[in-house]
Amino acid sequence: MTDDLLQDNENVDGVWAKIRSTLQKKLDSVSSVVTLSDGLSGFIDDIIKLKPDFDGWRDLLLAQKVSTEQDLKAWNASVTRLDGIKRLDCKEILCRLKLNFGENGKLPEIKALLDAAAKTSVSLELKTCDVMPIGKPWIISSSDEGERALASLANNIKPSRLVVLSTHTRPIPGLGELLSSLAAHHTGDISLLPLDFFWRPAGEAEGGMGTIVHNLRGRLTALYCSPYIVQLDLYHSTIKKYNIHLDCPSDVLWFAKLPRRTITNVCCAKGVPNNVGTTLKDSGVEVTRWHFPDLKDQDVDWLSYILSSYSDNRHQSVELVLPRDHLSAVGARQLFQKIPNIRVLYHEPNASQLTATCRDVHAAADCIELSTTNILQWI
């Protein structure tokens, strides 16, 4: 490329211009950082010059502390015996008690310098690290991105939409704390996709999702949780989009009682009875997308029975999501044969058995990788 640029060729004129523009932007950015660092260095020098005055004031305060401790001890002793000498001592203690702390005329100047240095330091930090784009959607899928978002919000840089995505392959540690911090700085709604929780295996703890839903009441655009949490939320939420995780038979009973009849996503863990599809269909519940984590060959009959009520005619299609699947080629073939109405199948990036079988057996189905970009299409 360097040789091409050095040749006298009209085609490279545009490249030269782009590189020059990039160099100019870099120069402007570095110059801005140098200016800020010079200013911060000047503040530090000014504060250091004031240190002797500050240390002298601190020594005076320490002397007053020692004197007050001695006065307190003497006052306690005078309670048991109060003669003429003690009366005089008490009078002196009372006089000293009226004295104010030693004032330091340099304190306002020191405080002003520290405040200015702090503001310059924040500006310097923003210049030397990436910040989130202004007025664009923010996709937060890691702790680092969460910290960037918080730093940006603290400096009045705001998104057009705030999305937080936590998956089984990239879980966000301390999700609840991060969401609370984001909600404290962001005035708009939050689109939360806690798929690591939503796809959890049967019997695994909910991971504090109930607390998150409670703390962010009125701020979430959708819920991904158990039907019990949804039931509690219905009394004070305006959320229209519910996504339900079913873990056991009692969850199915809770689900059937919900007044909502259109559910976007339903996740069936291994502990769910195979009549869940019939129960929900008879209750008038419509489901857009079905999730079955950790699916194995021996689970295909269970899955197909659940979906039989939702794929019983050629006009009704099914969307499947199979996180962490363990299907062999035989199991994948059986899946497509038992559920011929699969329209879309979301799979792990390394699910070669599924994709190959899909091409051979059910070419009409779209096999889509569970990537961040594709998952975000659900919101």
Burial letters 282-317, b for 16+ CB under 10 A, else e = eeebebebbbbbbbeeebbebbbbbbebbbeeeeee
- Per DSSP, 199 falls in state T
What is the value of pTM for the model shown?
0.66
Does residue 80 register a pLDDT over 70? no
C-alpha 371/C-alpha 170 separation (Å) is 11
Residue 374 Cα distances to 123, 199, 367, 371, angstroms = 36, 16, 11, 5
Tokens of 219: 């701020």
Tokens of 195: 């798929």
**pLDDT tens digits, 351-374:** 888 888 878 877 778 889 999 999
Tokens of 96: 């000293």
Does residue 243 register a pLDDT over 70? yes
Tokens of 234: 């219905």
C-alpha 263/C-alpha 243 separation (Å) is 6
C-alpha 126/C-alpha 128 separation (Å) is 6
Give all domains of the chain, ordered by start, each with its CATH number. Answer: 133-378 (3.80.10)
Lowest mean pLDDT among 113-117, 125-129, 310-314: 125-129
Decide: 227 and 272 in contact? Cβ < 8 Å.
no
Residue where the block lists tokens 């059986």? 334
Q: Please give the pLDDT value at position 286.
A: 84
Q: Please give the pLDDT value at position 208.
A: 82
Half-sphere exposure of 182 (CA within 13 A, CB side): 30
